[in-house]
Structure 1
């Protein structure tokens, strides 16, 4: 029987081709798995209870700040109804916006880094955590205590007393503020209440002597239902109100110290980039950047000599050795 001339040469070639193909397919499969993990692992999950106001502004500013480093498809935004443990576990980092979102995520104790934003320090202290506390951090809504007292010393150097209204949720913050104020020879008085019904009798006692009323980020005391009566009571006692948002100044407060959503978002973006680069979360921190708003009409009505918001903010930044950051 005559052998085919091509037979013996073709068989090794076919075997070689099959081995090469199998090797190539295996390499592609491994690459696909690795790339899939990398893409899944790079996801940033943002949780927010609201899609309006400061929450939405913070979300938009966070997207903008992270745009050069995080593709749009790698960031997912969830409402509270969309939360589940598996979705959070698939993220490289979870960012919450607001106290409600922080509580909802904290209750699920995800095993990934979590950064809370737009949350008061006292609310952060009450959130439930898992066994790895270092996986949780925050950028607080409230300004650092020393900055708030410095604001009063710069803007209102001749006011004799600091008045603080506190509920159980803000009692620790009120005590810290009073302690720092007294260290700087600024007398401070705290009125503690348990329910919203006690606000106005407490204010009458608190403002019986000349004072500056400092609003705390406590929704029991200072909210859309109480603010007008609080302002009227303080105005009647000729006690200027110092708020924690520009909305308070528009409503009739003398001045406010606050951080904008864009400023909070820039600070949050720095923390997110740090985690995506393989590092850990920074420790919980107060806002780095801040603004001051003033109400000259209220100042004139109360016969208070008040510098411009820009000059007060510049003096505060100078005291902290902090340059102004342009957006």
Structure 2
């Protein structure tokens, strides 16, 4: 009788334990959803092109958690639930910023720094940007200016030109030039200006000319005139792409789509490991190209591209 009574007395306690365990089991899926460390990132390409595909392929090779991949025209409302999104190219970045969800971590990659800054200011003027970052396609000014110093060790005047897209870089260009012991001389161009008239006095007074990427200034025709005038004035030109070097620039520093994709994949691995989102950054990986014909024409004894790259990396490490 006593044992039976004890058994009956235990029933409410066992029932309470079962209810508690059931409640905990119900909570387990919610806990798993709250820590989506292994959820696949969403990779949104601005379109299909060789460059975008190279970025995509390098991300896939590098990332430990392979992303889901779509193009911009496939973007749908359900994709807004993604916790981590990578936008490849300016068009994808613009679209994702225009519909940005503050719960999403967004990385814009493979776009100019000036474009990213303008998009943020236009589309998210008063919003928090703590969960938004970018990897730019253009080089940091310090790296470009240091290359100019390596090409022209005795040069005193650094010439350049800024247009509407790059005008905001004036102060940084001034500061970097002073740090490299250059006097800076710039031409400020508008669409209404005659670029040859503006560029000629700067080229004539400079010891080396740095080309800043700006689509409003350096179209193909103006670039050809710049390179022609520089050779006529025995002036080395520092470009921003391998194509610029091939066209006649003495040297250029640039990053490939594959290098930027690799860096983007490394950022994804960093986030998957629980680390924080890095700030907007210029390329970590880069190459230098030189034009031997231009160097001979200018009577320059250039170091090899590999040596120039080594010195640029050393300078970056020492900063």
- Please tell me the TM-score bracket, short chain as reference: 0.7 to 0.9
2:209 counterpart of 1:216:
no
Q: How many Å apart are 1:85 and its aligned residue?
A: 4.3
Aligned mates of 1:173, 1:310 — CA distance in 2: 28
Task: Provide the residue aligned with 2:40 in structure 1.
Answer: 43
Aligned mates of 2:220, 2:317 — CA distance in 1: 35
SS of the aligned residue for 2:110 comes to: strand
Task: Provide the residue aligned with 1:104 in structure 2.
Answer: 95
1:186 to 164, 175, 182: 182
Does the CA-based 8 Å contact 1:292-1:310 persist in structure 2? yes
2:306 counterpart of 1:310:
yes
Does the CA-based 8 Å contact 1:166-1:191 persist in structure 2? yes
Change (3 A) 1:278 1:131: farther
Does the CA-based 8 Å contact 1:139-1:284 persist in structure 2? yes
Q: How many Å apart are 1:48 and its aligned residue?
A: 2.4
Change (3 A) 1:198 1:285: same
2:71 counterpart of 1:78:
yes
2:114 counterpart of 1:122:
yes
Give matches, 1:100-249, under 5 Å.
100-111=91-102, 112-127=104-119, 128-129=123-124, 131-195=127-191, 198-249=194-245
Say what the alpha-carbon RMSD is for the aligned residues. 2.9
Change (3 A) 1:36 1:48: same
Aligned mates of 1:271, 1:100 — CA distance in 2: 21
Change (3 A) 1:52 1:196: farther
Structure 2, unaligned runs of 5 or more: 1-20
SS of the aligned residue for 2:130 comes to: helix
TM-score (norm 2): 0.81
Aligned mates of 2:59, 2:203 — CA distance in 1: 41
Change (3 A) 1:277 1:299: same
Aligned mates of 1:190, 1:285 — CA distance in 2: 25
What whole-Å deviation, never above 9, does each CA across 1:11-61 have from its counterpart, x for those lacking one? Answer: xxxxxxxxxxxx99xx7x988888899889713222222322432211111
Aligned mates of 1:194, 1:41 — CA distance in 2: 49
Equivalenced residues, count: 293
SS of the aligned residue for 1:293 comes to: strand
Does the CA-based 8 Å contact 1:40-1:91 persist in structure 2? no
Worse-superposed segment, 37-46 or 89-98: 37-46
Aligned mates of 1:161, 1:141 — CA distance in 2: 27
